[in-house]
A and B are shown apart, each in its own frame.
Chain A
Amino acid sequence: NAGVTQTPKFRVLKTGQSMTLLCAQDMNHEYMYWYRQDPGMGLRLIHYSVGEGTTAKGEVPDGYNVSRLKKQNFLLGLESAAPSQTSVYFCASSPGTEYSPLHFGNGTRLTVT
Chain B
Amino acid sequence: AQSVAQPEDQVNVAEGNPLTVKCTYSVSGNPYLFWYVQYPNRGLQFLLKYITGDNLVKGSYGFEAEFNKSQTSFHLKKPSALVSDSALYFCARSRGSSNTGKLIFGQGTTLQVKP
Contact = CB atoms under 8 A, between A and B. Distances in A.
The answer on A and B forming one complex is yes
Contacts of B45: 104
Interface in B10-64: 32, 34, 36, 41-46, 49, 51
Nearest to B48: A101
Contacts of A40: 9, 107-108
Contacts of A41: 107
A92 B101 contact: yes
A107 B103 CA distance: 17
A58 interface: yes
Interface residues of B, number: 25
Interface of A: 4, 31, 33, 40-45, 48, 50, 58, 90, 92, 94, 96, 98-107
Interface of B: 4, 9, 32, 34, 36, 41-46, 49, 51, 90, 92, 98-103, 105-108
Contacts of A44: 105
A96 B42 contact: no
A90 B103 contact: no
A94 B101 contact: yes
A96 B102 contact: no
Contacts of B107: 40-42
A40 B108 CA distance: 7
B108 A42 contact: yes
Nearest to B4: A42
B30 to A, nearest CB: 13
A101 B35 CA distance: 10
A102 B101 contact: yes
